[in-house]
Amino acid sequence: MKTVLCYGDSNTYGYNPSNGFRYPENVRWTGRLQSALGDDYKIIEEGCNGRTTIFDDPLEGWKNGLGYLRPCLNSHKPVDIVIMMLGSNDLKETFRASAQQIANGAATLVHVIQDFTAEKQGFVPHIILVSPPEIGEDICNSSFYGSFRENAITRSREFSKWYRMAAEEYDCIFFDAAAHIKPSKEDSLHLSPEGHAVLAQELAKVVCGIP
């Protein structure tokens, strides 16, 4: 059995933009991925609302993705595959980060995964570096407007370029989520059930292609 660690933010957690609660397991892309892959794989859900790559939230510093990464890897080892989808929250106004800086933050996490697992479990897992979906054009009408502004749309459209470069540099599998899914119309940030279904379907193809 292969262990697949899904490390991400609210779209990995399964935040429901319609009511602010959590989608059921059979709706979340992680749960759907488990169903698609079957008993030969074990999906570990590690999604946290508001998680960043390497930035400290001024109000909730524990949402920095770097701080929890090593304990997470150690708890679930041996890990065969890591699917990492982070960066959307880095677009918040408070961080003032460019798409390149955000991709660099994701690359820092990839480097940590590689170094830490080489030491602690004796081998490096395959890493699927996911470039997050774009911010929706109606963000100005979202309940999250203020934390995110219109400039987040433009920067999110640059993710694919910089994440691809990071994946190539660190020998990861690159996956462009924006090529397959868009955020919901409810808040321009979080995925609809249909988005979760498509993401699971496409990631299952990638995972099945790993020897």
pLDDT in tens, 99-120: 999 999 999 999 999 999 999 9
List pLDDT tens digits, range 137-196: 999 999 999 999 999 999 999 999 999 999 999 999 999 999 999 999 999 999 999 999
| Alpha carbon 29 to chain centroid, angstroms | 11
pLDDT of 61 strictly over 90? no
Strand-strand pairing, 81-85 and 173-176 = unpaired
| Global pTM value | 0.97
What is the percent of the chain with per-residue pLDDT over 90, rounded to a whole number?
Answer: 97
* Dist CA 86 CA 186 (whole Å): 21
